[in-house]
Structure 1
């Protein structure tokens, strides 16, 4: 599967869209907001550029896309008022794969600018210039030394491709019945996923080090796991239950087992030690902050039931599942998945772990 050509969050504003099913991501953004604002303000106060160039990598679409940008602009503007300095211009690049719903982002820009004018603390309007940049962030996207600040939320756990090592020499899948690392997965599956993540994250860091100015900052938020154990329940829970939903459809003859066995997600949830090790080996950045945050279904302004959680996964996975299995199974699959989630969530509370990494480019 050509991930770059197929993968995207569910577009539009409908019931199954990412825009309507990304409240968990927003909650985490709010939880780590103080760290993001500290990073951008420290950058501004140490460099005081007349123009700040910002890139949001893996921006997706929906209300979360521009919320961080608005907060960054507001924080810098407020600080400039306090120290009696003119507010710099902001050049903002919104990046995602070319399959992303950029149209909905552009349609929301008039409302974005209207809110900025209302929130501005000066009589003159803020100068914020926004452009879309399609392409994979696993490689160069911008000219050398052109960016001051990079933000990426809930994107870097998506790999550039499904790991090649998930198939044997005979071409047959070695992780049958599963779509991610599970307790029954062979060690080769774990090795394949970790190797792909190391390669991707190393390339990401190398590319960004060339694009950032000296002492530039990055704030990265991604799903992770709490321990070195690759079968950590929180990181594998949703994939295990989605595989269970597929197994039920196989038993009813709605899907072929071979189709399920050959479907694997291009996902990896790293632990803090893995992130730290790769950053140190790449060598271009200093870690200023590396923390883990956990969020459960009761932490998003109300209880999230199995159906709403299934909708959230659907908004992320539908494009790939439709490509692999066809559209006919989508509704039934996620209806079954929601039912399974309800049963499991009645037994135990699963807290999803997210990592935040704040990096400073070395001089």
Structure 2
């Protein structure tokens, strides 16, 4: 089955849905807000006052985060207009993700409250000048007409590559990454190189397509999970792989099922993404920053009364990872093992994270399209 048919967050509004388990990405979006503000000011300053500001959120997913960046951009533009005494521009926002994304949940549950907030805080006129549309499709390809967007943002999406590299299988048909579902500390160098080359191909195509769609001097902010270097891969998905191996050993999953599964995921280093941006050449790199946070940092910060114990933290992390990984894992291993898999994950995840000092490396890129 093609990746674009199965790669999406868990939809709906249930307890295991991404909409109810996406506080970590939301916290990272908030951390990036100062850089977002700088880019929007740059974009707005280059616009004529009568233009419609056109923005796109690529890999928006479902749930409350789908419209979070759009809301923040509206607040930033509103403040600029008040300060400069300029009329508020019309705004058109495009929400993009793969076709399997739960767009119905976005437009049924999130959008009405988004418009209610706009009308309550900004007035009817502002609400009537804001238009939101869904654009299903892969961002590893063209999505919009030429020179039609002023600003593009993508958060926690581009580490999901278009496919697992075909080079992970040897000429004799054996797996080069046996026992792992992604780049792991035990993966041979050939596996890391294969994933890196796929990332380069995909990210270059992503940049080339956005260069066609963004106006001259338009801006883009990309936030992705990364790694400090190629020898320090993200380990949380390794732990999922360990639990799958455990189930294989107990005869609950066929060994061939595990051997034939490779996650289309690569957390690049700062140097790796910088090299691709410079080689592709369409964008000027304004900022390239990285910061690390504990995997459960957002849980600790929200726990003001110190009531969330180790068991509760483990359950929250397990639901978060399940909301992200279940659709693609279930498509390969079957839905019937998901409860068992994530129960095992929950039981040991905090001990594993502490033993391996698991942190999430976040890379933020601010880019401006070069004049042509």
TM-score, normalising length: structure 1: 0.95
Please tell me whether residue 307 in structure 1 is matched to residue 315 in structure 2.
yes
- Separation in 2, partners of 1:40, 1:192: 36
SS of residue paired to 2:150: strand
Q: 1:328 to 1:319 in 2, by over 3 A?
A: same
Give the corresponding residue for 1:144. Answer: 146
Give the corresponding residue for 1:69. Answer: 70
Cα displacement (A) at 1:80: 0.3
Cα displacement (A) at 1:348: 5.5
- Separation in 2, partners of 1:124, 1:4: 38
**Alignment partner of 1:330 out of 330, 338, 345:** 338
- Separation in 1, partners of 2:246, 2:76: 50
Which one is further off, 189-198 or 337-346? 337-346
Q: 1:238 to 1:123 in 2, by over 3 A?
A: closer
SS of residue paired to 1:236: coil
- Separation in 1, partners of 2:126, 2:151: 22
Give the corresponding residue for 1:342. Answer: 350
SS of residue paired to 1:125: helix
Which one is further off, 290-299 or 263-272? 290-299
Cα displacement (A) at 1:47: 2.3
Which one is further off, 122-131 or 160-169? 122-131
Q: 1:123 to 1:19 in 2, by over 3 A?
A: closer
How many residue pairs match? The answer is: 358
SS of residue paired to 2:43: helix
SS of residue paired to 2:235: helix
Which one is further off, 327-336 or 166-175? 166-175
SS of residue paired to 1:305: helix
Check conservation: 2:234, 2:358, Cα contact below 8 A. Answer: no
- 1:139-188 residue CA offsets vs partner (Å, 9 max, x unmatched): 11100000000010110000001111111112221111101112221211
- Separation in 2, partners of 1:231, 1:322: 29
Q: What root-mean-square deviation, in Å, do the aligned CA atoms of Structure 1 and Structure 2 show? A: 1.4
Which one is further off, 288-297 or 211-220? 288-297
Give the corresponding residue for 1:282. Answer: 280
Cα displacement (A) at 1:125: 2.8
Give the corresponding residue for 2:248. Answer: 250
- Separation in 2, partners of 1:269, 1:123: 43
Check conservation: 2:168, 2:194, Cα contact below 8 A. Answer: yes
Gaps of 5+ in 2: none
Gaps of 5+ in 1: none
Cα displacement (A) at 1:349: 4.1
SS of residue paired to 1:169: coil
Check conservation: 2:227, 2:234, Cα contact below 8 A. Answer: no
